[in-house]
Chains A and B, each alone.
Chain A
């Protein structure tokens, strides 16, 4: 069975399929694609959050007052195979302080605050001279240490993903350029302007995991991108790289949805694309790989779309990680007078930020500023009328209405069975619900709860094992002590017997002597 799926997955891109559900949304991308990407000028302060990727915060490796060069490691992660967060420019560390970190919680977190010296001087770079002859494990090491994460928004460490993929027989690398969420155009601009870097990154990744083919998926509405990429493939002379146009239906850029569209195969629930011999990476991640390997530069910048009707000149900017968002807004001509809400990410999956003093993070693909007119007034939540619209649009083929009721009643086993863990939080069900039920909020809560229940269960299991081990040990110690006492007693007993024997012998001798005399 699995063999058949892998076989079908090999034919990725030869024939296009449909995934279940999805929505055709207004694109709103053109407004930010009018002018080329521009680099943000040096900021006066950089706030680099130590929480940059899925998992825990990094441990800081620098201290206040220390001088750093651009690309120096500021902190290292102790999970997902390690990895680092790097200095976005040269200067001095003014503090490691609590500051807003562009997190959905709205909470502050630890940030390395850098005061730039204005030189923007790189550390000593160690580019790979001849990557085509480099060892794949060496390429993977560079990817791991360059702080590269999935730049599509999930920020899962690429090094860990690639390391894990290298244990599987990967046949096809899928580069995801199908940026499906409205307003976001950072990948589109990247593909237009740096197609060569993407193709190179694709080839390096291909070598790092031993894939024989590369499929680059783009949306059918990206006309210019197709020509740019196709000619870049031609000039690179690489074989087995195909550019495939997929139909623009939100969320076709989701990893599992894209795989379904390209291969017709569903990634099994709880499984990973690597099980099918596929590895999926974002196009921006591929360029970060190119920079890391060919120039020796770690990931310290990314393209960010600054858009929405609340900003005067929407555009894409190449921003250093840690730059305050207010700097980006200023570069785009500032806020429109009726700007009302600042969102990190797109309109479907993004979250609101409390202030523009939040820094650019690795996950920041888009900064969306909405006006009062864009924001629908919150509608009162009405009872579910079982219309089934949510199930019709769900790209993960779940039953949102059933999930909703099981989560509200905290029936976690039911929710698990209904496949809560497979929800990708795309927001389609929310969008179509005529009763305005905040379904995704419930699913996010439910998913978090399932995870914490699992952790609690594992901890309880570990505690039980330790308790049982201790009981066994105490039992053994008790037995051993008893044994020791018994042995001692026996020894004493035999001592006494010996002494009695000696005494008896002496007595005998004495009495004999007495007889003799």
Chain B
């Protein structure tokens, strides 16, 4: 009887110490749920969800403040991924936040641009280069298509262009579904 009590107490304290040590040693600095949600979001940083970027929206979802259907660039697929991740039912995209659109890139009409730098300041991913009173241009590969550069432009010289895929980018389409 005594041996058992001593043994159990001993084991208990060993495990307790071990867990206490591990809690300090392997402490996770940031909230893993926020990280996971953030990794599902498209990182467009467009703010259409009413939060100033994808990470703030991820934080809002994690705290239960925001719904999962507020991200138009992520679209239905994004909502489904969030629903899978959080174990909730997918809901249709909230039309107040916008519509799902094919990915476009901003193109500056370089003849019209007056070099005011306002779009450069608006771009959330620093994808526009240029300087005051000099022509600006968009780094196509870095543009997320967030539309944030459109409103500040005083001469309305930015267009969102949906790029037609080249032949080399062609991929096999989804076969016509029959039975499984």
B115 at the interface (CB under 8 A from A): no
B56 to chain A, nearest CB (A): 10
24 CB contacts below 8 A, A to B, read A51-B168, A56-B166, A57-B168, A104-B172, A105-B167, A107-B167, A108-B167, A109-B166, A109-B167, A383-B179, A405-B180, A441-B175, A442-B175, A445-B171, A451-B171, A461-B43, A462-B142, A463-B125, A466-B125, A466-B127, A469-B126, A470-B124, A470-B126, A471-B53
Q: With A109-B168, A384-B179 given, name 8 new contacts (CB 8 A).
A: A57-B167, A104-B170, A105-B170, A107-B167, A109-B167, A405-B180, A456-B42, A464-B55
Interface 1/0 per residue, B41-65 and A, CB below 8 Å: 1111100000001110000000000
B144 at the interface (CB under 8 A from A): yes
B173 at the interface (CB under 8 A from A): yes
Closest residue of chain B to A101 (Cβ to Cβ) is: B167
Residues of B within 8 A of A469 (CB): 126
Closest residue of chain B to A460 (Cβ to Cβ) is: B43
Closest residue of chain A to B44 (Cβ to Cβ) is: A463
Residues of B within 8 A of A435 (CB): 179
Contact of A383 with B172 in the complex, beta carbons under 8 Å: no
Interface size of A by Cβ–Cβ distance < 8 Å?
43
B177 at the interface (CB under 8 A from A): yes
Contact of B125 with A107 in the complex, beta carbons under 8 Å: no
Q: State the main secondary structure of chain B at its contact with A.
A: loop
Contact of A463 with B43 at beta-carbon distance under 8 Å, contacts A56-B166, A448-B171 already known: yes
CA gap between A471 and B56 in the complex, in Å: 12
Q: State the main secondary structure of chain A at its contact with B.
A: helix
Closest residue of chain B to A408 (Cβ to Cβ) is: B180
Contact of A466 with B175 in the complex, beta carbons under 8 Å: no
A375 at the interface (CB under 8 A from B): no
Contact of A445 with B175 in the complex, beta carbons under 8 Å: yes
Contact of A464 with B178 at beta-carbon distance under 8 Å, contacts A51-B168, A56-B168, A57-B168 already known: no
The one of B166, B169, B172, B179 that contacts A382, using a Cβ cutoff of 8 Å: B179
Interface 1/0 per residue, A37-71 and B, CB below 8 Å: 00000000000000100011100000000000000
B25 at the interface (CB under 8 A from A): no
* Most chain B Cβ neighbours within 10 Å, of A381, A383, A447: A381
Top-9 shortest CB links A-B: A448-B171, A381-B178, A444-B172, A460-B43, A466-B125, A463-B43, A105-B170, A441-B175, A109-B167
The one of A438, A452, A460, A461 that contacts B171, using a Cβ cutoff of 8 Å: A452
Interface size of B by Cβ–Cβ distance < 8 Å?
29
Contact of A460 with B127 at beta-carbon distance under 8 Å, contacts A109-B167, A383-B180, A445-B172 already known: no
The one of B44, B167, B171, B174 that contacts A51, using a Cβ cutoff of 8 Å: B167
CA gap between A104 and B172 in the complex, in Å: 8
Contact of B166 with A57 in the complex, beta carbons under 8 Å: yes
Contact of A103 with B125 in the complex, beta carbons under 8 Å: no
Residues of A within 8 A of B38 (CB): 464
Contact of A384 with B126 in the complex, beta carbons under 8 Å: no
Closest residue of chain A to B124 (Cβ to Cβ) is: A467
A437 at the interface (CB under 8 A from B): yes
Closest residue of chain A to B146 (Cβ to Cβ) is: A463
Residues of A within 8 A of B45 (CB): 463, 467
Residues of B within 8 A of A380 (CB): 178
CA gap between A384 and B142 in the complex, in Å: 44
Contact of B175 with A438 in the complex, beta carbons under 8 Å: yes
Residues of B within 8 A of A437 (CB): 178
CA gap between A448 and B41 in the complex, in Å: 21
Contact of A463 with B180 at beta-carbon distance under 8 Å, contacts A57-B166, A448-B171 already known: no
Contact of A408 with B170 in the complex, beta carbons under 8 Å: no
CA gap between A107 and B173 in the complex, in Å: 13
Contact of A467 with B43 at beta-carbon distance under 8 Å, contacts A383-B179, A408-B177, A448-B172 already known: yes
CA gap between A55 and B167 in the complex, in Å: 10
User: For chain B residues 141-170, which have a beta carbon within 8 Å of chain A?
Assistant: 142, 144, 166-170
Residues of B within 8 A of A467 (CB): 43, 45, 53-55, 124-125
Closest residue of chain B to A469 (Cβ to Cβ) is: B126
Contact of B173 with A445 in the complex, beta carbons under 8 Å: yes
Residues of B within 8 A of A104 (CB): 170, 172
B173 to chain A, nearest CB (A): 7
Closest residue of chain A to B177 (Cβ to Cβ) is: A408
A60 to chain B, nearest CB (A): 14
CA gap between A459 and B41 in the complex, in Å: 12
Residues of A within 8 A of B172 (CB): 104, 441, 444-445, 447-448
Closest residue of chain A to B74 (Cβ to Cβ) is: A460
Residues of A within 8 A of B124 (CB): 467, 470
* Most chain A Cβ neighbours within 10 Å, of B45, B55, B168: B168
B180 to chain A, nearest CB (A): 6
Closest residue of chain B to A98 (Cβ to Cβ) is: B167
Interface 1/0 per residue, B116-132 and A, CB below 8 Å: 00000000111100000
Residues of B within 8 A of A107 (CB): 167, 170
Contact of A103 with B170 in the complex, beta carbons under 8 Å: yes
Residues of B within 8 A of A448 (CB): 171-172
* Most chain B Cβ neighbours within 10 Å, of A101, A380, A470: A470
